[in-house]
């Protein structure tokens, strides 16, 4: 009593931001960034004010996926003005470093970068901030959940056993941090042959739903393995924006509606 005021303990709500949703995966390459980008665009299409924080510090791919280039400005030398496309406000380390340049930072620097993107970026008033996390269960994930109030995590996995084992570890980490699991999304789940229409399951099928049932967390749906989804990501035109109403966009739209 009467002493100096100490910094508040525990996760803090970000001013002006109603909800924070983390998108996570146990391993890389399962489509976490693809889901983050399309989910953000789908939520914006619902009329929500949406931000996307690309915290995948080792491989920031959101500038390319959302077709955003150029450097964010900082007119006052303190706050950073994010960039915008498809109704989504984006901040990413990929906007600060040239593409193709490796991030060779140690843990504390990554934490500093994450903190800056949370504190110094002029996000404005947002209904939801999507955070595209790096794969795995490292410093960035833990710092986010410890410092910031995260409303829930969406875990992306392919139907493959090995991806699911890693997804389980991710879920375990969030549960230990007290972050609610919004559910598991199965990406690259079915492939429809454009010649014969036959449905193939190159990575298996139904594994994520079974895993969700086993862990007692919601299953949030399936996203097909589809060329248009890959091309949309590579070309800065997410399928939800470039092919609204298409079957390849439907899984992302359903996911946005489910959250
Ligand atoms: P992560 O963020 O998990 O590392 P990405 O979202 O970067 O994964 O996806 C890895 C690659 O797979 C990218 O080239 C992306 O375009 C592609 N990809 C992701 N999801 C799909 C999908 N459902 N269908 C086709 N390609 C996909």
Pairing status of strand 88-92 against strand 83-85: antiparallel
Angle between helix axes 139-147 and 161-177 (nearest 10 degrees) is: 30
Dihedral in degrees, nearest 10, Cα atoms 120, 121, 124, 129:
-110
Q: Is residue 234 part of a domain?
A: yes
User: Looking at per-residue confidence, does 101 or 128 come out higher?
Assistant: 128
Measured distance CA(152)–CA(180) in Å, rounded:
5
Number of domains in the chain: 1
Give the atom of ligand 1 at the shortest distance from the alpha carbon of 59.
4
pLDDT band of residue 2 (cuts 50, 70, 90) is very low
Give the atom of ligand 1 at the shortest distance from the alpha carbon of 56.
2
Q: Is residue 10 part of a domain?
A: no
CA–centroid distance, 78 to ligand 1, in Å, is 34
Q: How far is CA 239 from CA 48, 89, 91, in A?
A: 18, 18, 21
CA 154 to chain centre: 8
pLDDT at 102 exceeding the cut of 70? no
Quote the pLDDT of residue 193: 87
Q: Is residue 163 part of a domain?
A: no
Measured distance CA(62)–CA(233) in Å, rounded:
9
Which neighbouring-strand residues pair with 21? 130, 152
Q: What is the CATH number of the domain that holds 29?
A: 3.40.50.300
Which neighbouring-strand residues pair with 22? 131, 153
Atom 10 of ligand 1: nearest residue by CA position:
29
| Segment 107-123 mean pLDDT | 88
**Domain extent for 33:** 17-158+227-258
CA–centroid distance, 238 to ligand 1, in Å, is 11
pLDDT at 254 exceeding the cut of 60? yes
pLDDT at 175 exceeding the cut of 80? yes
| Segment 214-243 mean pLDDT | 97
pLDDT at 238 exceeding the cut of 80? yes
pLDDT at 129 exceeding the cut of 90? yes
Phi then psi dihedrals of residue 240, to 5 deg: -60, -30
Q: Is residue 199 part of a domain?
A: no
Which neighbouring-strand residues pair with 73? 81
pLDDT at 104 exceeding the cut of 90? no
Q: Is residue 181 part of a domain?
A: no
Q: Which of 24, 26, 29, 31 to mutate to test the pocket of ligand 1 (most atoms within 8 A of CB)?
A: 31
Q: Is residue 107 part of a domain?
A: yes
Positions at the binding site: 26-33
Question: Which ipTM was obtained for this model?
Answer: 0.99
Quote the pLDDT of residue 98: 65
Q: Is residue 180 part of a domain?
A: no
pLDDT band of residue 62 (cuts 50, 70, 90) is very high
Indicate whether residue 202 lines ligand 1 (CB < 6 A).
no
Which neighbouring-strand residues pair with 83? 90
- Least confident range from 40-44, 106-110, 137-141, 226-230: namely 106-110
Q: Is residue 63 part of a domain?
A: yes
Count of C-beta atoms within a 10 Å radius of residue 176: 11
């Amino acid at each position: 009593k009467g002493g100096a005021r100490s910094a508040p303990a525990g996760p803090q709500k970000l001013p002006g931001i109603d909800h924070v949703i983390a998108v996570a995966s146990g391993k890389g390459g399962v489509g976490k960034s693809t889901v983050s980008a399309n989910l953000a665009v789908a939520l914006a299409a619902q009329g929500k004010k949406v931000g996307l924080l690309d915290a995948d510090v080792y491989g920031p791919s959101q500038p390319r996926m959302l077709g955003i280039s150029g450097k964010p400005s900082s007119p006052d030398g303190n706050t950073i003005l994010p960039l915008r496309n498809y109704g989504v406000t984006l901040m990413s380390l990929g906007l600060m470093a040239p593409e193709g340049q490796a991030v060779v930072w140690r843990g504390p620097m990554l934490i500093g970068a994450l903190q800056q993107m949370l504190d110094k970026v002029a996000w404005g008033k947002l209904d939801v901030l999507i955070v595209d996390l790096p794969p795995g269960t490292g410093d960035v994930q833990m710092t986010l959940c410890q410092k910031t109030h995260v409303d829930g995590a969406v875990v992306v996995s392919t139907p493959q056993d090995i991806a699911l084992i890693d997804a389980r570890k991710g879920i375990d980490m969030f549960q230990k941090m007290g972050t609610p699991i919004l559910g598991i999304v199965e990406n690259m789940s079915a492939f429809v042959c454009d010649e014969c229409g036959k449905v193939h399951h190159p990575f298996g099928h139904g594994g994520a739903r079974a895993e969700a049932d086993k862990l007692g967390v919601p299953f949030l749906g399936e996203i097909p393995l589809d060329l248009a989804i890959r091309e949309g990501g590579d070309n800065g035109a997410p399928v939800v924006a470039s092919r609204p109403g298409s079957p390849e966009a439907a899984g992302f739209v359903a996911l946005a509606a489910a959250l």
